[in-house]
Each structure stands twice: as structure tokens, then as C-alpha cells.
Structure 1
Amino acid sequence: MTKTVLHGNQCATIISVVKQYKRAVILRFGRVRSVSPAGPGIIWIIPCTDTVIIIDLRTQSFNVLPQEILTKDLVTVTVDAVVYFHVLKPLNCLLHVQSHKHATELLAVTILRNILGQYTLSDLLTNRESISQAVRKEIDNGTVEWGVEVERVEIKDVILPYELQKALAAEAEGTRIAKAKIIEAEGEIKAAENLRDASKIIMQKPQTILLRYLQSLNYIASQQKTTILFPFPIDIPDHQK
């Protein structure tokens, strides 16, 4: 908001209000005034001599367009990200770079491609958080001279080629099948060991085979109504043996 203060028939000064989340850089005859950056609140401007540039201090963001990245293990993937930043020093933002947002975007794209190319596909899929931190620090090192601070970088998506997705799915399925077979084989080994121990007990106590036989019949009969045929008479071991 601006308001003109008149003295006679001439315009002497202009009152302008700078909002809380903004700062004003005032140039008088092309030179930065000592009060810059001014605000928030009321600032005084002399027409025809002062030029005011308003700088927004709030967090801004931009999307990094999908970039094709060649990983360290020579796999081509498509990566897109989002960058959050804010202006920390309004004077540097105005005097050291023509467009701080556009320059930050170009720098983010370049650094994102360079850093992601140093990781393998496995690292890129499993270590997104640490990679995002590395990208943020590198971008921030480049923008500090412009008075811009990068708050965070988030890798939104890593898109794999369709053929590579099918190959990874087949590899994962094969790994699961191999693990299942190993577990099944280990179970067979343990079952064989238990049967071996059971046979030793039966050889020492022959009457236990009859108890096991009757237990098996009882289990079968309890499952469903059925007719069970079993040999009779049964040779009952002599308990005195």
C-alpha cells in the first residue's frame, strides 16, 4: 500500500507499507540506500529518485522436471524432485544474481544429475533420504553467495524402464522360490532326524509301536466319519521283552 504526501502542488514523498514477510530494497539514483533492506512497516520514498524492489522472504518451491539419470551401474532411470528454499539476504539476492529463483532451478538440475550419477540403482532406491541431504548441501553451497538458503530437497519418484521392472520382479520371485526350497529342505532334514531318534526309541521299547498305531487310528477317526480297515489280530508285543 502506498500513499502520496503532497506539499503545495508538488509531490514530495510517498508512504509505502511493507508487509511482515517481505523486505524492500531502495535504490536512490541507482545506489542502494543505507536503510536497505527496509521493513516491515512504513517506508518513505522520494518519487523520481527512488526505486523500490520488494523481496519475498517466505519459503518458495519448484519442481525439478523429470531427468534421465545414468546410474553408477549403467542403468538409465528417470528422476523428479522438488526443492524448497527461501531468501536469507535480500541485498545479495538482488545484487549478486539476476534472477535468484531461475538460477537456483538451473543449479538444482545440474547438481541433481551429477550426484545421482555417483550412486548405483540399489542405493538410489533404498537411500533416498541420505541422497536428498547430499543434494541439498551441495545446492546450498552454490546459492549461499546469492543470499538463498535451500531448506530441503525431496526426490519424489524414481521411474524404472518397463523391461527393467519385469527383470527385477522375476529376480525377486526367483529369490523367494529359492528361499522357500531351502526352508523346505531344512524341514525335511529335521523331520528325518526326529524319525531317526524315534526309531531308536521304538527299537528299545517295541510296545510303543502299538500305541503309535492306535493313536494314528484315533486321529483319522476324529477327522471325519469313515470306515477304517486294519489287520487283525494285531501282534501285541510282550511287555516282558
Structure 2
Amino acid sequence: MIPLAYFPLLLFVLLLFIIASMFRILREYERAVVFLLGRFYKVKGPGLIIIVPFVQQMVRVDLRTLTMDVPTQDVISRDNVTIRVNAVIYFRVVDPQKAIINVENYLEATSQLAQTTLRSVLGQHELDELLAERETLNADLQRILDTSTDAWGIKVSNVEIKHVDLDDSMIRAIARQAEAERVRRAKVIHASGELEASKKLLEAAQVLAQQPQAIQLRYLQTLTEISGENNSTIIFPLPMELMQVFARHKGD
């Protein structure tokens, strides 16, 4: 049995403990969602707040931007290619009341929503779009997630697709496709060069046709350039115009 003399002391200690438990300190990035007898009362913080024991309860909410990895998802693209994609999302709580009352666990809910949205959005695009238009897909994912989580008091600020993994057979197919594309471009460039060269040759022929002696000077210049290369044998086409000049001189 506790002596009656100690009851005032025990009562004082209990009262002191209750008073001490009433005061809570919240950091600048924290808010407290306070419930009064089970009903929402108000959002308090930051700084020093008072919570009445046994009557009020509080739930801490972090307002800082959170980073969440979206687990790797198996996605079938619109052109029936199976790929594995993972991403990362950046979000924060902007309304603590909605984040606590409207959803049981806003972190788990955001993660599950991000996974399903990633599969559904990427499945509507072809593989080439997934590889080449990643910025556009990131913006689409961010917009859809931000709209869906607005009722939970969450703001999705950014979504980034990190990796797009393909199997070995698809990697080889893409390599062959890229090689064929490079060959096609080389042929187009070569054909464009031939067309441009033919136009320049046509212009040169038109200029040389205005004075027949110009072609003879061009032949002599070419012979001079060839002779400077120390060739032992030179095969050079002799123009018929030059033979006609020699024939006229011989007739005279």
C-alpha cells in the first residue's frame, strides 16, 4: 500500500507529465494535422504547439520534396515490343489535411499510381518514340500524376524515365536498323553529290564550248599536272579537235 502522504506527490508528478506532454515542437518543414475527439480540428505548425492529452491527437506531415523510385515495370509498346522501364518522381505535400484524411497512406498510393500510369502511358507509344521523345513522355507522366494526386493534396513536380532496357535480340535488330539507315543516308548524299557535280560539269562544258581552243589548253594543263607525278606510263585521250589542227597545218 502507498501511504496517503505520497498521493499529493504522485498527483503532482502526473500533472507535471501531462503538462509536459502538451507541448510539441515542429520543424519549419513539418505540419501537424490535429484531431479533436476523432474529428478534424486544424493544421498547426511550425514551431511550438499545444496538444491537449486524451482529447486531441496529431499526425506529423513532412512538406519537403520527396524522391520516389518507381520499380521496374514490364511494358508492351504499341508496336508489340516488350521493354523494362523504371522512373523516379519528385513530389511534395501541399495540403496536409487532404494528405491525411483523403487517403490512407499517400506515399504508398502515389507509388502504386505512378506504376500503373507508367505502364499505361508508355504502352500507347512505339519503341522509337520511347527512345527519342523522352522529354515529352516525362511531361505527359508528370501532368497525369499531378492531376490524379491533386485530391490527395500532393503536387508532382517532375517525373524522369531513368532506364529503358531491351533484350539482346531487340538490341541487335535496332543496330541493324541503324546501320541500314546510315547506308541509306550515305547513298542519298552520294547521289546528291553526283547531281551537283553533273550540273557543274554542264556549266563548264557550256563555257568551254564558247571557245574551242580552251579545251586544248585544258588538255595541256592536265598533261602538265600528270607529268609532275613521275609516272612512267601516261594514257591520255587525244582530242579530235587537236588532230584537225595538225591536219590543217600538214595540208598547208
Q: TM-score range by the shorter chain?
A: 0.7 to 0.9
Paired residues of 1:96 and 1:145 also in contact (CA < 8 A): yes
**Which amino acid counterpart does residue 81 of structure 2 have in structure 1?**
V
Q: What is the CA distance between 1:176 and its match in structure 2?
A: 1.9
5+ residue gaps, structure 2 = 1-10, 237-241
Counterpart of 1:23 (choices 24, 31, 37) is 31
1:166 aligns with 2:205: no
1:106 aligns with 2:112: yes
CA distance in 2, matches of 1:96, 1:190: 69
The residue that corresponds to 2:46 in the other structure is 40
Moved more, 176-185 or 197-206: 197-206
Describe the superposition over 1:15-41 as per-residue Cα deviations: whole angstroms up to 9, x where unpaired: 2211111101223333333xx210111
Counterpart of 1:71 (choices 77, 85, 88) is 77
5+ residue gaps, structure 1 = 1-6
Residue identity over aligned pairs, in percent, reads 35
CA distance in 2, matches of 1:200, 1:16: 96
Paired residues of 1:75 and 1:121 also in contact (CA < 8 A): yes
**Structure with greater helix share of residues:** 2
Moved more, 58-67 or 127-136: 127-136
CA distance in 2, matches of 1:189, 1:130: 39
TM-score by length of 1: 0.81
Paired residues of 1:73 and 1:120 also in contact (CA < 8 A): yes
Describe the superposition over 1:60-88 as per-residue Cα deviations: whole angstroms up to 9, x where unpaired: 01111111111111111111111111111
The residue that corresponds to 1:119 in the other structure is 125
Q: What is the CA distance between 1:137 and its match in structure 2?
A: 2.1
Counterpart of 1:213 (choices 198, 213, 219) is 219
Alignment size in residue pairs: 228
**Structure with greater strand share of residues:** 1
TM-score by length of 2: 0.78
**Which amino acid counterpart does residue 15 of structure 1 have in structure 2?**
F
SS in 2 for 1:37: strand
Paired residues of 1:210 and 1:236 also in contact (CA < 8 A): no
CA distance in 2, matches of 1:189, 1:140: 54
CA distance in 2, matches of 1:203, 1:32: 98
Q: Compare CA radii of gyration and give the structure with the larger one.
A: 2
CA distance in 2, matches of 1:38, 1:186: 72
Structure 1 residues 102 and 170: alpha-carbon distance in aligned structure 2, compared to 1, 3 A threshold: same
Q: What is the CA distance between 1:195 and its match in structure 2?
A: 4.4
RMSD: 2.9
